[in-house]
Structure 1
């Protein structure tokens, strides 16, 4: 893989710290701007082992209304090109996944622009299209071994200062800090329920006409942000009820925060150049009765519509990775695997490929945004239909949270099961893949199932549409 500034001689430092729970550390950091936490939860194996916590970035890259800023200064170059130049080059310590680098997100609109697609939806002026911090150190929590390290790069003086900051945080982190209760919030959907069902019907008509094979139709729910509500407190409440392998908390300045309980890996890239993506398509509810729960999982694995939906996205991601893959290296080692999460079963597959020499994580992001599992196939036409049928801008929803380390390795997740908090409101969103076999009522119910856990954080269990009784 190509890395910028390979001659850079940065020192890497690792310092072990006493064990602390990630929730207690987050509570002690409440109110801190540009706090980033990549927060694995649920089962520890195979993808829920590490939690990465970063604060106080050395650089901040932000895109708002199409304009890129670095540390508040307007830039002429694009965000990804700037990011490539800002990420330092250094080896990651053996056994640790990250020791500094870039952590942030790119929203759905950012991916639209990469495909030269316009949109009829006005963006929320309080939301960001892209926000990334460059961090010179990270607190790394190993949930399997219950060990913690402070790992970073720079001079000895820099790391000494970071150790002092870490010890101050350890002193403030109180073991067993209770998860705060959330104030009630009533959410309203961005369209009447019948309009969502009609969008599913129209999507099926496009499929029947041969325009597309599949398309993802989504909706957003909006609620007023209660005065004084802390994003960290809300995230701690979310992670307590919706533990997920790709959870994330990003506070990007004072008035924007992303709170994610995503179950879905987007694309990972390791130092050997192996790319992996694990698209999710296919959903069924959990059941408290173990026998019924196993039967639901088995039925999902055999469901013709759900398997067809998953297979089409597997083919799309084979094509996306194939743009940058060595010839003959694209494979599908897992197909239609049922994975169990806190509230639902999901049908998950894996696509794997080897990156061509001369390319890096930035190239992979540029080639694959936005995620195929939340657009459809063919991707370009599906995104045009999404813009026609959906009632509001997706914003960060269906974008990507990602990290890129100094060793060039990347991991990323799809922004689903996610709350977005701005100064005035909270947004939740959900949707599903539509195929020729889709039933509008069933798709509406699946969308409600997916969003239910997000709304329940604030006591809203109704999931009303603006036209529902």
Structure 2
């Protein structure tokens, strides 16, 4: 079983300020309005095991291993976790130990067997750390607890030391230091992006695909003295999101995510949920305008068709590992409000069949359907042809795999990667036969706008 210890309240910003600069920190940062999606925040550091996958090598606990297939990488997660498995964490704690990390779009592309003309570079394509304890914030009850594994985890003496280090943290951190403006440069001009959209529509008209997600990368030079955790401290203030995350993955790589989209959630009984987002509209300047924009999004034929195709794709993907007859769609075309946009969101549910686990589910579903297209394999081939640069981590997933079999994960969108002296962000949207290239470009700019403003005023 797992254990819990109450801790004195410390703000997440304080923990990030003092501990976030170390390698292998993981902060799952549910922000924005408090609801069922955003009740918990989780911070982990000092992992027991690490796993990183690069284009040319695999490293387990920093030791180079033979290259493996994506399925073999996921099996490493399974095998290490098996040595720590417990019956259940405390019912009211979402995580007490397990893996936290990310799988990039490139990792998912390899799972799908789609080759690429792009060179990925030296950033990791998969990175995860196994933690035997975690600091958990309960936003609803304004409480913090230390949760850990009773067998194979922290000893009682080590647990006391960890609690003492937490209690020694100040109640408030110093303000986030000012950062010079970071000027984002697009990998495609407006005209080039619109041509890519038009080319995608020709593939749709020819019957190759029904829909495809076309994206663009934006890059800024990152001064050597700018700390990624400091950037995230500021970012989470201006763009809170229900699936925010900060991952410091070693190798000079950090992921700063403000994702609004849940990818997959699995409970300890094997019940699966995914909530794909397809369809975007701006927020209004007044309550009345906001309601009108939401109503227009809910009634938009193009946006509804786009969302429905992804729902069908996710039904197929989940169905590969689901119990026969368990896949259903309890919610279709719901409009959800976020800090800067409205989104059209649906929900697909299913139940893992006997003999399958969350690693099997990731192998069956990566990369997320909402950022690829339908049919997925052909859409990904067209993405590789039409996009100017590799996606990297963008359009992959951040995941949290608990020792009790639970999983939660998000789609890596509205996210920055800090690596190699650069800050990189991707944005894009789903293309259908009804798309207008200019409007698709404007939607991409709408999604980018708050993050471009953040960079310019960082």
Tell me the TM-score normalized by structure 1: 0.93
Q: Distance in 1 between the 2:109 and 2:170 partners?
A: 41
Q: Distance in 2 between the 1:123 and 1:44 partners?
A: 37
List aligned pairs for 1:183-332, cutoff 5 A.
183-332=180-329
1:86 equivalenced with 2:80 (yes/no): yes
Bigger drift between 24-33 and 309-318 goes to 24-33
Partner of 1:371: 368
User: Judging changes above 3 Å, is the alpha-carbon distance between structure 1 residues 155 and 387 closer, same or farther for their aligned structure 2 residues?
Assistant: closer
List aligned pairs for 1:344-383, cutoff 5 A.
344-383=341-380
Bigger drift between 58-67 and 395-404 goes to 58-67
- Residue 158 of structure 1 deviates from its aligned partner by 2.4
- Residue 342 of structure 1 deviates from its aligned partner by 0.4
Q: Distance in 1 between the 2:218 and 2:268 partners?
A: 39
Are the aligned partners of 1:313 and 1:377 in contact in 2 as well (CA < 8 Å)? yes
Partner of 1:114: 111
Deviation digits for residues 414-462 of structure 1, max 9, x if unmatched? 000000001310001100000001001110111111112222222169x
| Secondary structure of residue in 1 paired with 2:192 | helix
Partner of 1:148: 144
1:20 equivalenced with 2:20 (yes/no): no
Q: Distance in 2 between the 1:107 and 1:299 partners?
A: 34
User: Judging changes above 3 Å, is the alpha-carbon distance between structure 1 residues 156 and 132 closer, same or farther for their aligned structure 2 residues?
Assistant: closer
User: Judging changes above 3 Å, is the alpha-carbon distance between structure 1 residues 382 and 155 closer, same or farther for their aligned structure 2 residues?
Assistant: closer
User: Judging changes above 3 Å, is the alpha-carbon distance between structure 1 residues 156 and 221 closer, same or farther for their aligned structure 2 residues?
Assistant: closer
Deviation digits for residues 178-226 of structure 1, max 9, x if unmatched? 3433320111111222110000000011001100000000000011001
Partner of 2:48: 58
- Residue 176 of structure 1 deviates from its aligned partner by 5.9
Are the aligned partners of 2:184 and 2:455 in contact in 1 as well (CA < 8 Å)? no
RMSD between superposed Cα atoms in Å = 1.5
Q: Distance in 2 between the 1:156 and 1:373 partners?
A: 37
1:38 equivalenced with 2:35 (yes/no): no
Q: Distance in 2 between the 1:109 and 1:341 partners?
A: 28
Q: Distance in 2 between the 1:420 and 1:208 partners?
A: 35
Q: Distance in 1 between the 2:124 and 2:213 partners?
A: 22
- Residue 66 of structure 1 deviates from its aligned partner by 4.5
Tell me the TM-score normalized by structure 2: 0.96
Partner of 1:3: none
Deviation digits for residues 62-83 of structure 1, max 9, x if unmatched? 0011422101222234311111
- Residue 166 of structure 1 deviates from its aligned partner by 3.7
Q: Distance in 2 between the 1:143 and 1:363 partners?
A: 32
Deviation digits for residues 259-281 of structure 1, max 9, x if unmatched? 00000000111111110000000
1:70 equivalenced with 2:70 (yes/no): no
Partner of 1:453: 450
Structure 1 unaligned residues grouped into runs of 5+: 1-10, 462-469
Q: Distance in 2 between the 1:224 and 1:383 partners?
A: 29
In the alignment of these two chains, the number of paired residues is: 450
Deviation digits for residues 30-55 of structure 1, max 9, x if unmatched? 31110001110011112010001000
| Secondary structure of residue in 2 paired with 1:457 | helix
Are the aligned partners of 1:269 and 1:275 in contact in 2 as well (CA < 8 Å)? yes
Bigger drift between 353-362 and 24-33 goes to 24-33
- Residue 23 of structure 1 deviates from its aligned partner by 1.6
Structure 2 unaligned residues grouped into runs of 5+: none
Q: Distance in 2 between the 1:57 and 1:173 partners?
A: 23
| Secondary structure of residue in 2 paired with 1:185 | coil
| Secondary structure of residue in 2 paired with 1:27 | helix
| Secondary structure of residue in 2 paired with 1:458 | helix
User: Judging changes above 3 Å, is the alpha-carbon distance between structure 1 residues 286 and 177 closer, same or farther for their aligned structure 2 residues?
Assistant: farther
Are the aligned partners of 1:41 and 1:246 in contact in 2 as well (CA < 8 Å)? yes
Bigger drift between 153-162 and 362-371 goes to 153-162
Are the aligned partners of 1:66 and 1:129 in contact in 2 as well (CA < 8 Å)? no
Q: Distance in 1 between the 2:268 and 2:56 partners?
A: 32
Q: Which residue among 37, 57, 65 is the counterpart of 1:47? A: 37
1:29 equivalenced with 2:19 (yes/no): yes
- Residue 141 of structure 1 deviates from its aligned partner by 0.5
List aligned pairs for 1:398-417, cutoff 5 A.
398-417=395-414
